[in-house]
Structure 1
Amino acid sequence: MSVKSTLLIAMGQDAIFLNNIINDIFNSREEDISVKSWIRPWESSRNNNLSIKGLSYEEILEIIIDRMYILVNIFLEIMRVTPKKPKTLQPSRYSLGTAVQLFYKHFCEILADKMKTEKIACEKSINLHISDKNTQTEITTLTVCDSCNCAVTCIKRLLRSLKNEEQAKLKCQIFDITQFGCMLKVTSSIEESLHNLFTNLLKKDNDITRKMEICESLKKKLEEKDIKITIMEEEIDSLKRMLQKGSQKLFKLNDEKKQLSDNLSFKISTIDTLEQTINSLKGDLNESTNETEKLKCINGIMRKNVDSSIELLSKSATIFEEKIAKMNQEHETIKLILMQYEKSLLYLNVKLGKIAKHFAKIEIKLEGIIRDTNTNGKEENVNNLKQKLIDIRVNGSK
């Protein structure tokens, strides 16, 4: 599987996941949320059956941007964080960048408020653990009897009536005199109060340890939230970069769309011209069909003539074949005659050769006789012999 196909599958799963989240939000809330789509503002933003089969990379990317835009606007509608500016018209629908900016701003405010409240709670628990409180609290009050109260008031009145010097002198004596009596009376109540105080301090110590553990867990949660915030900031930055790339791709796609529309108009004009040419060609075709019908009639007539001529030619061909067969037979007989003639010629040539040799011998003898006759003076006999010899040659050549 290639990288492009894997990326296409992952993007399709992301689009379906975002669409399911939007449908869950719409189904879980009772009040109606009016959020318009980014790709098709005239249609509903809810899409229960999102199909991504057969879609290209750019179309799936547009669907993801549309689902993110709807999701951010739903969050803004739920939080109701539309900035109210006096004497300005609020936009009916935000762009994707403005919606993300408002959502991030409100998210940071909520996070800061939550961190502030958690910090205050943690400081209160720490101060509660460190603070030094009086032992005589509302719960563990020392119960003073009526006699002690009366004695204390009498002593106070006595001290007020005396001068400052006398107060300083008598102060220690009065304290020594009254302290023992008072302590004897309140010993039982002090013991009970100390027991109650110990139990309350033990409870508070347990509460403080529990709250310290809660503070530690809150600190860990705050650290985790800080990490999540940094991760979300990085994701938001990556989303911003993706949105910038998507806007650039969208700009390119719009340019390509314009070019395609121009090409479409050009092709429509060419189609119109082609339709005109087709109509003219249809007229020519009708004329040609009429001509072809005429030619078919002529062709039928000519075919009949050709068939009749073919029949005549086939008959004449059979006649010629019979004549050729006869001529072949005659040719064979002539060949046999020629072969016999050649044999006879060979035989005659052999005979002629023998006769020529015989005549050559006779000529030699005649020449000897002629010479003898020339010497004897018998010319007439010689001429007769020569004439006979010529006649013999002529007859031999024939």
Structure 2
Amino acid sequence: MMGKMLRFSLFGESHGRVVGVLIEGVPPGIKVNLEKMKAELERRKGIKRFSSKRREEDEPVILSGVFNGFTTGSPIAVIIENKDVDSSYYEEIKNTPRPGHSDYTAKIKYFEFNDYRGGGFFSGRLTAGIVIAGYFAKEILAKAGIEVKAYIKSIGKVKAKDLSVEEIFSSKNSFCPDEEAFQKMLEEMERAREEGDSVGGVVEVVAINVPPGLGGPYDEDLEGDLAKAFFAIPAVKGVEFGLGFKIAELRGSEANDPFVVKDGKVMTKTNNCGGVLGGISNGMPIVARIAFKPAPSIYKPQRTVDLEKMEETEIKLRGRFDSCIVPKALPVVEAMMALVLADHLLRWLSWKSFMSLGKR
């Protein structure tokens, strides 16, 4: 289970009967809009021509925790059926691990009892459950006026320009507010697709209206929990907040964010720290960037090992693959940020409620 007050756990496999999620800690009385949930799942399908040709309906079925259209406060279980599955090819390659995949490490970890079809439990298919859990987290955050938005910062070496928070949240382009850069990103993805290859990229995610005080030091660290959540997304290889690694190149006089008073609130003039100080939110937008590696399943020949013969060999994959997973990762990244923020918000509200007792 990930989280403390708001917790969730994924289950199912890529080629199993279902994938799903169990969510605990959602307060009672939240109105559930299935169409809104489905819209989030639809976003997870990305850009059609760069995504896998596997076409799933992604129809969520709520098994528990919702009654008469509202959350009850009990655990929420939601499943999605896997209907468009073809496992035949995976029998052919079960002893030749695909480079870049978890095939080999999962085989060792689970003593060869793991479901290797389509990546099994390690598959990006499981992120459907993350998006569903994220839907509930976003509804919790909405009560506090908190919003989360992710967009494509880069594809390969093509980068979007630096954007203001206003530009990010007001953009009608659901993939990237920088239209000129986005067209070049599409061209980069198309080149990878035509070459039978894949390309990675970076997603930037921003949360606004986050109150100061969420998080804590050490194991309560807000950045630490966010980083753990982001790294739990398949294919993520890097996470940074604020200026990230660039801040190491600056002097303290350049890196520090001066405090100011704005509209009666303490804010900072700049946001180099990305909205977190000492593991605690400071009231500024929380900004993170997440690096996704290129999808490891490609149509080009690759070197691997035949584990039965213990010989080096070559593998040329057949199947339905993504040439770029970054567009479909946007709602997943948003969901993970929303889940962590909602968890910390509920924790902070319990403290706030307790502190108010002494004022009676």
Q: TM-score category by the smaller chain?
A: under 0.3
Question: Greater helix share, 1 or 2?
Answer: 1
Question: Greater strand share, 1 or 2?
Answer: 2
TM-score (norm 2): 0.26
